[in-house]
């Protein structure tokens, strides 16, 4: 069990996101704005639910 835990943490380190093209099929520019957040001049997460 410890080995599984260590393997997962090695593959997916905390605080580091995967490349955007591996996370979603949405427009990478939109995802960058969502990751920035609305407080920092980006977009809110709920824009993904609205049609383009």
The pLDDT tens digits for 1-52 are 999 999 999 988 999 888 888 888 888 898 899 989 999 999 998 888 866 6
What pTM did the predictor assign? Answer: 0.59
**What pLDDT, on the 0 to 100 scale, is given for residue 49?**
82
Report the chain's terminal Cα–Cα distance, integer Å. Answer: 44
Q: Output the pLDDT for position 52.
A: 61
Q: Are 17 and 23 in contact (CB under 8 A)?
A: yes
Per-residue confidence (pLDDT) for residue 25, from 0 to 100: 87
DSSP code per residue over 2-46: HHHHHHHHHHS-TT-PPPHHHH-SS-HHHHHHHHH-GGGTS--GG
Q: What is the reported pLDDT for 21?
A: 80
């Amino acid at each position: 069990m410890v080995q599984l835990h260590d393997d997962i943490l090695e593959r997916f380190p905390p605080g580091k996101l995967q490349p955007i093209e591996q996370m979603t099929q949405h427009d990478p520019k939109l995802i960058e704005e969502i990751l920035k957040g609305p407080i920092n001049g980006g977009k809110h997460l709920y824009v993904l639910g609205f049609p383009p």
